[in-house]
Amino acid sequence: MAIAIALCLLLQRLVVASAAGVCAVESDWAGTHVVKKTCSGVSQQDCVGLNFEWEESDNAGQNVCKVQYHMHSSNNDLAAHCANKNGTLATYSETCSMYLTYIQLSETWLANSTSCRAMNPQMGAWQMTNAYALDWLRSHGCCGTGETSCAVADPPTFQLCTPASALASDLVYSTDCLINQTECAGTFEQVKFEWKPEENDGAGACKAENQGGVGDVFTACTNKGGAIGNDQSTCGDFPKHYFPNMVADTAGCAATPQAWGGQMSVATYANWLATACCGSTPTACCSSSSCMAANAPTTTAAPTTAAPTTAAPTTAAPTTTAAPTTARPTQIRYGTVSFSLAVSIGTVQEAIARTDVQRGVQVGIGNQLNIDTAWVSATLGLATARRLTAESRRLVTSGTVVADYTITAPAGSSDISSLDLVADTQGEKDAFSTQITDGLVAEVPVTAFGNLTATVTSAGTRTAPDPPTTSSSRFRDSLALCTLAALAGLARNI
């Protein structure tokens, strides 16, 4: 009985972890996804490449070669990779749920600016925040093609490019390239090679860095005779992890952070990164006075007090006191719109997981209804996702997207009760299609998905969603069921 309940508690830890809000879309969480497997019989010298990692003193206390899933790899067939190294693939798998238990997010953990920026209890020695830890899970396939909860709940405060939409978030800016120090020099195939003596615990490592956004760091490393390491940085990593809590205003761009040695200014670093990360006509926000001004904090002027005046006394006619007016409270409306989304680069599944696509849809809805677009929040999903396999979801270049949205008009705003959320006629649907398409064009860089077009098929109201079940209540309920099952099993054996 004790063993059965202990197993229940262990399973609960995995269940709690999977519900702890790792992914922005809860259904994206892939708890059973295989992150790593041991590939025995492969030496440290041969355990190299994007899908390989040499682990010294792993969970079993051994030095072993691990084959791993990696989001930047074009082939994540772990068995084939191990076989190509003449290794033997273990049957034991290290899954996303196992790694999440190591990260130790509590059952009540919720993603917000405080929790995402907090140092992870297990990773604090490496100065790794919870947001960074979740990004590691995402990079190993634990959120599918979706984003982490921290990416949505606590988006970066630093604007690297102007316009902001020019940032090529998924472009691999740098990678470890396993070549010797002598070979790691100069520029090759528009990629800069530089030896970093401080990397690899002081042993040094070669970095291949994108120059001007036109080079391919993976191809250049291979063509130079090297093997790709497993440490990469994308352009999207920099605003999130290298400029944390910074703002690209005049003061922020002029700062020289002590974390960088107090020698390099934020503007110098940002301008350097912009050449690779900000598109074909790169402009860093820190080099644009108008962009820095737009990011400057707003200040409220101190109130002025007029000099008192004394008027001659007059006898006024009696006045009638007007009935007091009450400011309109916060108003909420719930709507839904379905539209066919087509992309010419990537997949629809990848598109709807991105925050800039979400913003584009929200802008389109707000403009269609002629309201402040900041009042609109939307969640996006594929209407056919439940009927698609994991493989076919990656191949969807057009599909029907359902956007469930909420309008929250702040207290004192104009009345929104009369807003018509329904699109009955074809003309109304065409107008809605134009607004959503225009919103996507304004918010999403063309390099991400090519030409994005939305064709609205229906729009209307929806009922208020039920309050979410708390993770603690899910924990108690599932623990109770698990314990009852254990008791039942014990009873059968009596």
Q: Who contacts 489 (Cβ-Cβ below 8 Å, separation ≥6)? A: 4
Over the stretch 235-293, which tens digit does the pLDDT of each residue have? 888 887 778 778 999 999 998 877 666 678 889 888 888 888 888 787 889 999 999 99
pLDDT at residue 88 is higher than 90: yes
Distance separating alpha carbons of residues 407 and 372, to the nearest angstrom? 9
Over the stretch 375-402, which tens digit does the pLDDT of each residue have? 998 888 887 543 333 333 344 678 889 9
Percent of the chain at pLDDT exceeding 70? 77
pLDDT at residue 10 is higher than 80: no
Over the stretch 400-421, which tens digit does the pLDDT of each residue have? 899 999 998 888 788 888 899 9
The whole-number pLDDT of residue 313 equals 52
When pLDDT is cut at 50, 70 and 90, the band that residue 449 belongs to is confident
Higher per-residue confidence, 426 vs 477: 426
The whole-number pLDDT of residue 389 equals 37
The whole-number pLDDT of residue 125 equals 52
Q: Which of 86-100, 126-140, 263-277, 469-483 has the lowest mean pLDDT?
A: 469-483
Backbone angles phi, psi at 465, to 5 degrees: -70, 150
For tokens 């644009």, the residue is: 288
Q: Which of 106-115, 176-185, 479-488 has the lowest mean pLDDT?
A: 479-488
Across residues 3-23, what is the average pLDDT? 47
The whole-number pLDDT of residue 67 equals 92
Over the stretch 184-205, which tens digit does the pLDDT of each residue have? 999 999 899 999 887 776 778 8
Backbone angles phi, psi at 460, to 5 degrees: -170, -165
Distance separating alpha carbons of residues 150 and 154, to the nearest angstrom? 5
For tokens 């599932």, the residue is: 478
Do 68 and 103 meet the contact criterion of CB atoms below 8 Å apart?
Answer: no
pLDDT at residue 66 is higher than 70: yes
* Three-state secondary structure call for residue 372: coil
* Three-state secondary structure call for residue 342: strand
Q: Who contacts 45 (Cβ-Cβ below 8 Å, separation ≥6)? A: none
Across residues 24-33, what is the average pLDDT? 88
